[in-house]
Amino acid sequence: MSIIRPLALALLLSLSPPFTLALGKPRGCFTRAEQGAEEMVREGLRLREGAIGCDGPPWYAGTKPLWEEIDQRFGQRFAAQTGIRRRAFQREFAKDAENRLQMWNGRIVMHFRNYPLSETYCAGIKDVLQKMRRGGWGVFSRLAGMAKDEVKMDYRPCDK
């Protein structure tokens, strides 16, 4: 059980059926909170995949232990954001929520798992993890917010 980290568990739960909650009619958009959750899920996946990739050869950046510490520290918050995102998918794609989540999670993970690593990229991942270690959730939240435009391209905001 110690091998399964909170974020990984949250992602697995977001992929698992059943989607039985009645969350109202589809709105055709995602609220600011739902968009923020998507930003945080994406940034968490970027950091996780980067930390794992940069930890091994040829970079040996020492990032995996940093990620594991961050994941343990903020696992409940990561899970909460994953839950907000899952409920938005359940509302918007009631007939196909599980499949849609699997497709989006696969797309995001595949992108970051295969992202071309470099000394600079790995140093950046390590720097973010160290800043999170010192500065906490606010550091992560601000960084995740940089993906606003990308998320808006994928999900129409309700506030437009």
Task: Give yes or no for a contact between 22 and 123, defined as CB atoms under 8 angstroms apart.
Answer: no
Nearest to 150 by CA among 114, 120, 119, 112: 112
Give the global pTM. Answer: 0.83
pLDDT, residue 12, reads 44
pLDDT of residue 22: 44
Q: What is the pLDDT along the chain (160 residues), one digit of tens a residue?
A: 444 455 554 544 444 444 444 467 899 999 999 999 999 999 999 999 999 999 999 999 999 999 999 999 999 999 999 999 999 999 999 999 999 999 999 999 999 999 999 999 999 999 999 999 999 999 999 999 998 898 999 999 998 6
* Residue 14 pLDDT: 47
Q: Tell me whether the omega of the peptide bond preceding residue 58 falls within 30 degrees of 0, making it cis.
A: yes
Those residues with Cβ within 8 angstroms of residue 88's Cβ, 6 or more apart along the chain or in another chain: 30, 31, 34, 37, 38
